Amino acid sequence: MYGRKASELVKEFATSEPGQLSTFNNDLYSQVLEECEGHLLHLQPLMRKIQEHENELKDKRSSEDATEDSEDERRKTEAEKTIIQTALKSDQFGALVHHLSLVRNKRCLMAYVYNRAEVVRSLGWMVDNVLPEEIDEKLSSSEKEYFKNHVATLQSYMSELDLHLTVDTVPPKDPYIKVRVKEDIGEVALSDQVANLAQHAIMFLRRTDAEQYITQGQMEELTS
Amino acid sequence: MAGYYDIDDILAEEELVPSVFQHDANGVGLFDSSDDTDKVIAGSRAELPFWLVRELYLRQLISIRVPPCFDRDSKTREEIGADAAHVDLKSRCAYFYTLGCKIAPLIGDKTIGPFLLVAFRTRYREVLIKAHTLSLSVAPKYLILLTNEEAKLYEAGQSSIVAFKKWRMGGPRFQMAPVLGRKRKPT
């Protein structure tokens, strides 16, 4: 059935959890593209045939106007015309089906790429400029490029404003919070101190300093 | 009309509608692959996806029958009338409401609209109650009855309850980015 593969592609995106990415399905994606090529191959001869039929009809009409035929002959050309017209309509029908399938496939492919791009964009706000490996390998090469460029744009905008937009997305109650370090990070210069962020250390940090580590999963917030 | 990139809209239009060809079509071989004349003749029956049906039907190239779940004297209508909340709609049409709204103006059946409304009204109440009270272990049994639109509402209801509980108890306000959460092996 036409358009089945394309809808599988969309379905695959729909079943993955919101905000999560699955590996870019190159295989299915190129299969859909192949199907599009196939539709085009079908479409072209049909279009040619439609053109031919139309020309024939035109010829018939002009010859009819020119000559005065007997009743019999006129009936004959009339019958021929109906046959051509039915054939014309069949070809148009076929062409329409292929055209619609092409449009449908295009929509599915676009939706797949667009919705993935949206997730990739949101990644730019959550993780700093480096993608973790397990996500990185799920992206296609153009998506990686897109992410890189998006992050670069974001960074340049923030440096222009001189404001860090990705921190404090939740309004703070207190400028300092208690955190536990989950992974060894090492000696880091924070905004108010130089701290050794060793694993399992419990520290009292500025929210703005801690936020990026927490979103990246290297620290967790402790509540008393 | 829903957005061009709307995933749900795309999937809803994939639902099949029983149709009959009113005219021959050349160069269309895929509906019946055993046939190698590459042609569909008038009068053949096929289940076509809605995205194809709409355009062809408007051009009067095919005639369609209403999908069984919307049909005037179908079992579904009787069941909805009896106890809407416990009808398994998902297996009949995963996008029951979306497709219903799309198909009603196309065939001009005035009874579909009120029918959808009645179904939704009764089921929505149940969905909301269940979303707020059902424990996670019983939920899957109930979820399989819901169409995709209802499942979204159910999830929304549940997440609002979770958010409310979190707000009441207090808790960490920063969280790890959800994308980093699941470290499943890539398949």
What residue ranges do the domains of chain A occupy? 4-126, 176-221
Interface membership of B78 toward A (CB under 8 Å): no
Mean pLDDT computed over A144-157: 90
- For the cut 90, the answer to whether the pLDDT of residue A161 exceeds it is no
Per-residue confidence band for B178, with pLDDT thresholds at 50, 70 and 90 = low
Interface membership of B10 toward A (CB under 8 Å): yes
ipTM above 0.85, yes or no: no
B71-169 — its CATH code?
1.20.58.2050
Domain residue limits, chain B:
6-65, 71-169
Check: CB of residue A165 under 8 Å from CB of residue A206. no
3-state helix, strand, coil in chain A (%, to 5): 65, 10, 25
- For the cut 70, the answer to whether the pLDDT of residue A170 exceeds it is no
Please indicate whether, in this complex, the C-beta atoms of A90 and B30 are within 8 angstroms of each other: no
Mean pLDDT computed over A62-71: 74
Residue to test with chain A: of B26, B168, B180, most A Cβ within 10 A: B26
E strands, B30-164, in order: 39-40, 45-49, 62-64
Q: Tell me how long chain B is.
A: 187
Distance between the two ends of chain B, CA-based, in angstroms? Answer: 36
Assigned CATH topology for domain A4-126: Methane Monooxygenase Hydroxylase; Chain G, domain 1 (1.20.58)
Give the pLDDT confidence score for residue B186 in this predicted structure. Answer: 43
- Enumerate the residues of chain A whose CB falls inside 8 A of the CB of residue B170: 223
Check: CB of residue B87 under 8 Å from CB of residue B114. no
- Enumerate the residues of chain A whose CB falls inside 8 A of the CB of residue B152: none
Give the pLDDT confidence score for residue A135 in this predicted structure. Answer: 81
Helix (H) or strand (E) holding A220: strand A219-221
Class of domain B6-65: mainly alpha
Give the pLDDT confidence score for residue A69 in this predicted structure. Answer: 66
Residue of B nearest to A15 (CA): B7
Mean pLDDT computed over B29-54: 74
CA distance A82 to chain B (A): 14
Nearest Cβ partner of A94 from B27, B174, B182?
B27
